[in-house]
Amino acid sequence: MTDSRHIEAAIYERLSKVIDPELGRSVTDLGMIAAIDATPAAGRDGGDGARDAYDVTVHVELTVPGCPLSETITNQINGAVASYPDADLTPRIEVGSMSRDKLDDLVAGLKAERKQNPFNKPGVKTRIFAIASGKGGVGKSSVTANLAATFAALGYDTAAIDADIYGFSLPRLFGVHTQPTNLNGMLMPVTAWGVKLISIGMFAGADRAILWRGPRLQRSLEQFLSDVWWGEPDVLLLDLAPGTGDMAISVAQALPNAELVVVTTPQPSASDVAVRSGLVALQVPMKVRGVVENMSYYEHKGEKLEIFGRGGGERVSSQLSEALGYDVPLMAQLPLEPELRETGEAGRPAVLDADGALRTDGVGAEFKALAERLMAA
């Protein structure tokens, strides 16, 4: 015979493996499991050699009322309870929300763990890639979005910051139309296609022209890093504004362990300017990881048409390698594909199919190879 207290303790242990998708902690660590009640089921007897029958009620307290991920959390809790093998259980989930005092204590504890930029802590394992370009129009944001979606599809815990404050575009490319959840002053990034995202474009009034000077730009980056609960992602991507302005310098100062990835197109007018965005590494403590040549060719009936010329990526790679004194490889030459624009504008990164799986052909294979190269030591 299995008693109620044993069942309640065993179920609590199982629930310790259920992770809150936003905070990245178990629901038990976060205090979201207020109580577990296991009672013998009236009118149901396990019989000789059969399992005992119990009704189990789990009292769940969400961090905020109407949490957008409440269904996901309750489904995981339900599954954990239903999988208990030693008794015939009928689980019931009762969902409420935390009291103000309990929530205040939880947020205070989380903030105390990360009194500063969490990506500068000793021992942090997050790989940080800042995606840069010398000029606009080379597909930098499209590269960022598809690369982030690729990392997530490959199983990496992936985050992305839209650091292009004036020309933000990641919300549209990921089909995001919601605002981050505000948890008593701590923001939860919006998750889309497996990527945790934050952008000024997610906030009210962001459809108007943004007229910010340097100090406010720097403060926005600091807030994106320290006031957003990122957990401990494997990969963080930053979509930088074109050029070598305030935000590029702020990123280098706030994230000295970031690695710069320079995006260019084949023509000299783009590649010459792209070199300058890489040369910022001479002034700040940031390494240039490599170069990506976008719109390298358009494939038509098996023939690769070099619509924008050729050699831009190689030129940027060669000049940066010489100027910086270490190898800056050309890591990818991505084709010009209308689908990148069409699918991206519709809110789904083109590297993913409609079910969110990474495509194994075409642009999916190209970005998979790029992601693997970037993660290589």
> Residue 198: which residues within 8 A CB-CB, separation 6 or more?
160, 161, 162, 180, 187, 189, 190, 224, 228
* Residue 23 contacts residue 52 (beta carbons within 8 Å): no
- Give me the DSSP letters along 181-236: EEETTEEEPEEETTEEEEEGGGSTTTTSPP---HHHHHHHHHHHHHSB-----SEE
**CA pair distance 111, 106, nearest whole angstrom:** 9
At residue 272, φ and ψ (nearest 5 deg) are -65, -40
Give the angle subtended at the CA of 75 by the CAs of 194 and 7, to the nearest 5°: 130
CA–CA separation, 41 and 36 (whole Å): 15
Structure tokens that stand for 255 in this block: 């994230």
Query: To which residue do tokens 């706030």 refer?
Result: 254
Q: Is the dihedral of CA 165, 201, 22, 370 positive or negative?
A: negative
**Both tokens of residue 264?**
């260019």
Q: What is the DSSP string of 120-141?
A: GSTT---EEEEEEESSSSS-HH
**Residue 12 in contact with residue 28, Cβ under 8 Å?**
yes
Binding residues: 134-141
φ/ψ bin of 126: left (φ > 0), alpha (ψ from -120 to 50), beta (otherwise): beta
Alpha carbons 73 and 305: distance in angstroms, whole number: 50
153: tokens are 């599809």
Residue ranges for the known binding site for ATP are 134-141
Dist CA 90 CA 161 (whole Å)? 43
